Amino acid sequence: TKLIFASKNKGKIHEFREFLSPFGVEVISLNDLDDVPEIDENGLTFSDNATIKAKTIAAAYQLPVVAEDSGLSVDALNGAPGVHSARYAGDHDDLANNNKLLTELANVEKENRTATFHTVIVGLKPTGEKIEADGAVTGSILFKGQGTDGFGYDPLFYYESLHKSFAELTATEKNSISHRGNALRKFMTLFKDWWED
Ligand code: ITT
Ligand code: NA
């Protein structure tokens, strides 16, 4: 079984592959395809954006597609960067995004640095048949990055019960508790019927 995952994000793709390999599902990403169309990600919600990605790619290749949109919502910043997480500091540059987040939170004390990662995963067939699952995980934003694994905001996201940042977890450990892992577990309860139908 091969699945088109409509993402260019190497970190997401790695976690999808890690999660889906025991199910015998091989993940093809946009980095493996030619002539990938531009995706106009202008939705107001994670769900809208995941659907926009899935629709664009399903229409272009006439194949079933899975897409996801995710981001970090920081309570002290009224939910920012949220759907703007990828381009928080302008370009999609993880280091610049992390630095901007640290600057914005410079005067916020430890107990007020709570944040939640969100994701929505959409499966869409060219016929329009759609499944959708969401996931979230709450932690807090460190004052300085910790760890070298993962991607994006992981070095700054501290997960209390493991006493580690997300960048200090392996992909398997992260999937066991993360927003993406939580969404993927829900998604897989819908997947088989959708895929085989
Ligand atoms: P695709 O649209 O190609 O999938 P993208 O990186 O542009 O890739 P999004 O628009 O969904 O994806 O942006 C997600 C942002 O949230 C991006 O800045 C990520 O670094 C961040 N993010 C999402 N999940 C994360 C995670 O598990 N750990 C750290 N950062 C994460
Ligand atoms: Na996005």
Percent of the chain with pLDDT over 90: 96
Residue type, 149: D
Question: How far from 40 is each of 30, 33, 54, 75, CA to CA, in Å?
Answer: 15, 18, 11, 27
The chain-wide mean pLDDT, for the chain, equals 97
Q: Is 117 helix (H, G, I), strand (E, B) or coil?
A: strand
User: E strand or H helix at 123, and its extent?
Assistant: strand 114-124
Secondary structure letter of residue 107 according to DSSP: T
Least confident stretch, 22-26, 127-131, 157-161, 171-175: 22-26
Helix (H, G, I), strand (E, B) or coil at 150: coil
Q: Are 159 and 147 in contact (CB under 8 A)?
A: no
pLDDT digits (tens, 9 = 90+) for 54-91: 999 999 999 999 999 999 999 999 999 999 999 999 98
- Where do the H-state alpha helices sit in 62-178? 94-104, 171-177
Instruction: Tell me if 56 CB under 6 Å of ligand 1.
Output: no
pLDDT interval class at 124 (50, 70, 90): very high
Domains of the chain, start order? 2-196 (3.90.950.10)
* Most ligand 1 atoms within 8 A of CB, residue of 17, 51, 72 to mutate: 72
Alpha-carbon gap, residue 187 to 184, rounded angstroms: 5
Tell me how far the alpha carbon of residue 128 lies from the centroid of ligand 2, in angstroms: 22
**pLDDT of 1 above 80:** no
Tell me: pLDDT of 3 over 80.
yes
Q: What is the pLDDT of residues 132-166, one digit of tens each?
A: 999 999 999 999 999 999 999 999 999 999 999 99
- ipTM reported for the complex, 2 dp: 0.98
94 CA closest ligand 1 atom index: 20
Q: Residue 119 has which token pair? A: 């994701």
